[in-house]
Amino acid sequence: MSAPHVLIRIGGEGGEGIISTGDLLSRAASRQGLCIMTYRTYPAEIKGGLAQFQMKLASDPIRSIGLRFQHLMAFNQEALDAFHDGMLKGGTIYYDPAECPDLSKVSGEIERVPIPLTDLAKEKGGSIRGKNMVALGFLSRLASVDLETVAGLVREKFKRKGEKVLDSNLASLNAGYDLGDQTIDGRGVKLTPKSQRGQSIVISGNEATMLGALAAGCKYMAGYPITPASSILEFATRHLPRFGGTVVQAEDEISAMASCIGASFVGKKAMTATSGPGLMLKGELITLASTQELPVVIIDVQRGGPSTGLPTKQEQSDLKFAIYGTAGEAPKIVVAPATVEDCFYLTAKAFSLAEEYQMPVIVLSDTNLAVRTETVPEFDVSRVDVAERLRPTPEQMKDYKRYEDTPTGVSPIIDPGTPGGLHIAPGLEHDEYGTPCYTGVNHTKMNAKRFRKLETLSKRAEEWMADWAPVEGAELCIIGWGSTKGAIQEACQMAAERGIRVSHFHPRIVAPLPEAQIREALSKVKKVIVVEENFTGQFSHFLKAKFKFDPVEVLRSMGVPITPDEVLEEIVKVHETLHPAKPQGASYAHR
């Protein structure tokens, strides 16, 4: 199917160190030159509940993690029962016999290997709290990660906790590694690091997002705690002040948005981060920024909705609200990162777009990107082009109009504190000076001016706006957006191996759409498949309205990322409808 890789899942009680075991193992693997991708699920509950961490390790860059795995490390009975589903044939369950008395629910060709996590931690490390270190040692051996690399990370992590704690953890780690030496034999996976790949980092989408904001020169961040966006606020709190900025945990989502507008009004690059329910609360103020023509960046880390919905699960269901979800007609830009790397560069781009076009830019990230970590090439700050606001010419200063009607729609802006540019930023409809004016002629003119900025942008047709992978002779094209990209790419590759050629179009900017590029993609194929993780086909509706065609919709609202296998299955179905030689494959259902 694809290049050599190993898929490991770790499951246990929240608070047992499941996540840190996974983090340390993946970071050690990355330091050794391997590529990793991880995915984790948190219980929605405050304490306790099951936590799982899944990781994929490979020699080559990883596009998607899927839901299947070969190795499960179960810390307790509940995790064993809940998480063994999805194991590949010939997989192995490693379980702690002290915590997992009953293996009766496990059936099929699955090997079961007892790993005495509790006993070894007690015996060698002197504390059962070292269970996760035993597991880490064992799994390191399984994935052929050097003991010294992982021990180095453990030292970094525990150095501040004192020698005693560190020694205990290292003893447990060694015990787990030694046990691996004795038990693993042929089950171990030998992955060869690729040299010459350049320096890599392991990072989550939310961290990458905030780093992108720093690279763009963000100087104000206000947010309100909300899953799964809170870690952006937390990351900002730890770093933005040092970079000369200000971070406020606001009393509510509305206040956060309002204060960003205030910061932007006085000339600072400002952002907020939220999830679906918060985005809705910010709606009125987003229209204010749009009509006042103030730059502001809103990160929306999508989760399962509506309402409180599935707060810790994956879904791409805020698209329509992001594009259309305002009373009145308020132009805004919507971009959607497809990878963790995109979270950095596209967030930085969002700031440039906001400054350049003087309007709100919504970044539609999602739970999958937010919480997964991934090996990515070290971010190159010099690749970020930082845009600034349009300033008036001396000629324009003679009769300064804050909302001057220009050919691009963009008007020169002067920040408070600067002599000569006094003006009002109104929420009321206004003329070019900002003076309230309610005539129909003026309203139509100012609407045209504001929306002209989107036309100016959509005509740019630049490379960053979409990933377009045309395949010569392809009859099918898949259009997706956001974090489904990796699964679609893998599915296209698997289809190619079966002789089905499929092109793939994945816009980074979803509003305004890169029209010319999409028309080109549509013109070359017989059938288009739109893949998205929501129930109603939000992006598909948007495309259909704009381009008048009839795509096959592949929609998932399962709370987990779509897998390459699922996409492949749909490709095959659609291919068969185009080539009905095999009568049994003549129909397709798209959900």
Partner 1 sequence: MPTAEKLKPNDYKTGREPIWCPGCGDFGALNAFYQALSELEVEPHMLALFSGIGCSSRLPYFVNGYCHHGVHGRALPAAMGAKLSNPELTVVVTGGDGDGFSIGTGHVPHIVRRNPDITYIMLDNEIYGLTKGQIAPTSPVGMTTSSTPLGSLEDPLNPVALLIACNASFVARGFSGDPKGLKDLFVKAISHPGFAFVDVLSPCPTFNMDMTYQSLRPKVSPLPEDHDSSDRVAAFARALEPVVYTGVFYHRRESIPYEKRHASLRAKQVEYGGQPDLAALIRKFR
Contact pick of 200, 230, 358, 483 for partner 1 (by CB under 8 A): 200
* Beta-sheet strand order (sheet of 200-204): 111-114, 87-95, 69-74, 5-13, 50-58, 35-41, 373-377, 200-204
With contacts defined by CB under 8 A, name the span among 109-117, 302-310, 411-419, 439-447 that binds partner 1: 411-419
Find, among 479, 562, 492, the residue nearest to 527 by Cα.
479
Strand-pair category, 476-480 with 296-302? unpaired
With contacts defined by CB under 8 A, name the span among 136-144, 262-270, 317-325, 522-530 that binds partner 1: 262-270
Strand-pair category, 50-58 with 35-41? antiparallel
Contact pick of 77, 144, 183, 246 for partner 1 (by CB under 8 A): 246
Q: Should residue 323 be labelled a site residue for partner 1 when binding is judged by CB under 8 A?
A: no
Q: How many residues bind partner 1 (CB under 8 A)?
A: 62
Q: Please report how close the Cβ of residue 356 comes to partner 1 at its closest, in angstroms.
A: 20
Distances (CA, A) of 142 to 39, 65, 146, 229, 296: 19, 19, 10, 34, 47
Q: Please report how close the Cβ of residue 219 comes to partner 1 at its closest, in angstroms.
A: 7
Contact pick of 101, 328, 436, 580 for partner 1 (by CB under 8 A): 436
Q: Is 464 exposed, middle or buried (0-12, 13-18, 19+ CB in 10 A)?
A: middle
Contact pick of 55, 79, 173, 258 for partner 1 (by CB under 8 A): 258
**CB-wise, 178 or 429, nearer to partner 1?**
429
Annotate 509-521 with b (16+ C-beta within 10 A) or e (fewer).
bbbbbbeebbeeb
Q: Should residue 378 be labelled a site residue for partner 1 when binding is judged by CB under 8 A?
A: yes
**CB-wise, 222 or 495, nearer to partner 1?**
222
Find, among 64, 78, 61, 79, the residue nearest to 21 by Cα.
79
Q: Should residue 230 be labelled a site residue for partner 1 when binding is judged by CB under 8 A?
A: no
Find, among 396, 187, 374, 402, the residue nearest to 291 by Cα.
402
Tokens of 40: 């984790």
Residue 199 burial (CB count, 10 A): 6
Site map (CB under 8 A) of partner 1, residues 13-32, x = contact: -----------------xx-
Phi, psi dihedral angles at 528 (to 5 degrees)? -115, 135
* Positions in 471-510 near partner 1 (CB under 8 A): none
Q: Should residue 418 be labelled a site residue for partner 1 when binding is judged by CB under 8 A?
A: yes
Tokens of 433: 């000076």
With contacts defined by CB under 8 A, name the span among 107-115, 217-225, 326-334, 478-486 that binds partner 1: 217-225
Contact pick of 248, 359, 518, 531 for partner 1 (by CB under 8 A): 248
Contact pick of 18, 154, 250, 338 for partner 1 (by CB under 8 A): 250
Q: Should residue 280 be labelled a site residue for partner 1 when binding is judged by CB under 8 A?
A: no
With contacts defined by CB under 8 A, name the span among 315-323, 373-381, 468-476, 528-536 that binds partner 1: 373-381
Question: Radius of gyration of the chain from Cα atoms?
Answer: 26
Q: Please report how close the Cβ of residue 251 comes to partner 1 at its closest, in angstroms.
A: 4
Crossing angle for the helix pair 131-142 and 147-158, to the nearest 10 degrees: 150
Q: Should residue 417 be labelled a site residue for partner 1 when binding is judged by CB under 8 A?
A: yes
* Positions in 62-121 near partner 1 (CB under 8 A): none
Contact pick of 255, 316, 517, 538 for partner 1 (by CB under 8 A): 255
486/490 Cα distance (integer angstroms): 6
Q: Should residue 403 be labelled a site residue for partner 1 when binding is judged by CB under 8 A?
A: no
576/584 Cα distance (integer angstroms): 9
Contact pick of 421, 470, 559, 585 for partner 1 (by CB under 8 A): 421
Q: Should residue 256 be labelled a site residue for partner 1 when binding is judged by CB under 8 A?
A: yes
450/445 Cα distance (integer angstroms): 9
- Preceding amide of 61 cis, omega within 30: no
Q: Please report how close the Cβ of residue 434 comes to partner 1 at its closest, in angstroms.
A: 9
Q: Should residue 199 be labelled a site residue for partner 1 when binding is judged by CB under 8 A?
A: yes
With contacts defined by CB under 8 A, name the span among 157-165, 352-360, 378-386, 479-487 that binds partner 1: 378-386
330/296 Cα distance (integer angstroms): 14
Q: Should residue 578 be labelled a site residue for partner 1 when binding is judged by CB under 8 A?
A: no
The half-sphere exposure of 284 on its side-chain side, counting CA atoms within 13 A, is: 7
**CB-wise, 55 or 171, nearer to partner 1?**
55
- The residues binding partner 1 (CB under 8 A) are 30-31, 199-203, 207, 211, 214-215, 219-220, 222, 239, 241-244, 246, 248, 250-252, 254-256, 258-268, 270, 284-285, 288, 292, 378-379, 381, 415-428, 435-436
